Amino acid sequence: MSNNKVMDQIKKILDNHLELKKQRKTPERYAILEEIYNFNHHFDADELYNKMKKSKFSVSRATIYNTLDLLVELDLVTKHIFKNNTFKYEKSFGYRQHDHLILDSDEILEFCDPRIQLIKNSIEKIYDVEIESHSLYFFGKKKKKLK
């Protein structure tokens, strides 16, 4: 499989961090990271919890949340909040930055537009601030096709 290489890289990142910060290399952390990178796109804590429960490696909710926080901090995972108030997550290593288009409240597409960087640069200059991240969502619906 070609993405074993990605898997190796992200595990290495986690590994390095844990070593550096003298945190424990628990099997749970690696198992969770692996499951997340097997997801294709957005999931929430509960989905991950259930996926883990079905897998050979059952893990508690507390650990799910703890590990998600850790991985977000490491930039291996991105945390979103769309319109409702539950957090959504997605793997982020090796995926270039993108924004989201949400159609009919449930379908999520991704896009990338360089002009967002230009806006960011302007804002930084105008307000004399340093921007660390942004979130841009478009909400819309598919056009009805005329018969």
Question: Which residues contact its own copies (rule: CB under 8 A)?
Answer: 81-83, 85-87, 101, 103, 109, 111, 113, 115-116, 118-120, 122-124, 126-143
Q: Is 8 in the site for DNA (CB under 7 A)?
A: no
Hey, how many other C-beta atoms are within 10 angstroms of the C-beta on 112?
9
Q: Which helix (H) or strand (E) holds 80?
A: strand 77-81
Q: How far apart are CA 80 and CA 44, in angstroms?
A: 10
Q: Which is nearer to its own copies, 34 or 44 (CB)?
A: 44
Q: How far apart are CA 57 and CA 71, in angstroms?
A: 18
Residue 94: both structure tokens together: 């090796």
Q: Is 23 in the site for DNA (CB under 7 A)?
A: yes
Q: Which is nearer to DNA, 50 or 117 (CB)?
A: 50
Q: Is 63 in the site for DNA (CB under 7 A)?
A: yes
Pick the piece of the chain touching DNA (CB under 7 A) from 44-52, 98-106, 107-115, 117-125.
44-52
Interface residue with DNA among 1, 2, 56, 62 (CB under 7 A) is: 62
Pick the piece of the chain touching DNA (CB under 7 A) from 1-9, 19-27, 116-124, 125-133.
19-27
User: Which DSSP symbol is given to 143?
Assistant: P
User: Which DSSP symbol is given to 76?
Assistant: S
Amino acid making up residue 12: K
What are phi and psi for residue 110, nearest 5 degrees? -115, 145
Binding region for DNA (CB under 7 A)? 18, 23-29, 44-46, 58-63, 65-67, 85-87
